[in-house]
Every structure is written in C-alpha cells, then in structure tokens.
Amino acid sequence: DVKVTQSSRYLVKRTGEKVFLECVQDMDHENMFWYRQDPGLGLRLIYFSYDVKMKEKGDIPEGYSVSREKKERFSLILESASTNQTSMYLCASSLDRNTDTQYFGPGTRLTVL
C-alpha cells in the first residue's frame, strides 16, 4: 500500500513565524501535491510537483512556497504565517502524469495565533 506521511498532525504557530510542513511518500511516485481544506470550500491546490526540483503553482499559492529536493519528500513553507492560513493541510502523491489516483496523508491541522 502507498503510504504518505506528514510530519505533524497538529501544529500551533504564532503570526509571523516561518512554518515548515513536511510530506514523505514511500512508493516512488513522481507527482506530489499540497492542498488546504476548509469547510465548505473543498480542497484547494496550493502547489504541486511533477519531478525533483520542479514545482508548479496551484490555485492559491500566495503566502506559500515549496521545496522538492528529493523525490520522496515535498515540503510546504509558510514564510510568515498569518491567521488566515489556519487550516487543514493535506499532502498527496500520484504515480505519474498519466495516473490520476491521488493518495493522501493524514493531514496537518495548523492553527496560527
């Protein structure tokens, strides 16, 4: 089975702090994604990556950056956390660009005070 892990289940940070969310997948998937999930809004794509050192902006990239130095790891960075970034963050991976099925990690619930 595909396993996608996220570094923290719950995280509390203060406004202005730099926040790192880590995601690791163990199935040699090419594609990795970061979403945020908010009630009534479904999943919104922040960034995605189709290969190492490659990144593409999703629908809501403002205030975020990403890093993919190794194939199995995809990091989401909040350069200066703000209260409107309080949300559930979901990482996902999929095999390649021709495979649509995405596999999700358990999520990180981030609270910015």
Residues lying near other proteins in the complex (CB under 8 A)? 4, 40-45, 48, 56, 58, 90, 92, 97, 100-107
Identify which of residues 105 and 112 has a Cβ nearer to other proteins in the complex: 105
Shortest spacing between CB 15 and other proteins, in angstroms: 26
DSSP per-residue letters across 48-100? EESSTT--EE-S--TTEEEEEEETTEEEEEESS--GGG-EEEEEEEESSTT--
Nearer to other proteins, 3 or 70 (CB): 3
Label residue 27 left, alpha or beta by phi (over 0 means left) and psi (-120 to 50 means alpha): alpha
**CB 39 to other proteins: min, Å:** 8
Angle at 46 between CA 43 and CA 50, to 5 degrees: 110
Evaluate whether 45 touches 33 at the Cβ level (below 8 Å): yes
Nearest residue (CB) to other proteins, 12 versus 41: 41
| Nearer of residues 67 and 104 to other proteins, judged by Cβ | 104
CB of 13 vs other proteins, minimal distance in Å: 20
Residue 53 beta carbon to other proteins: minimum distance, rounded to whole angstroms: 19
Task: Name the token pair of 109.
Answer: 């619930």
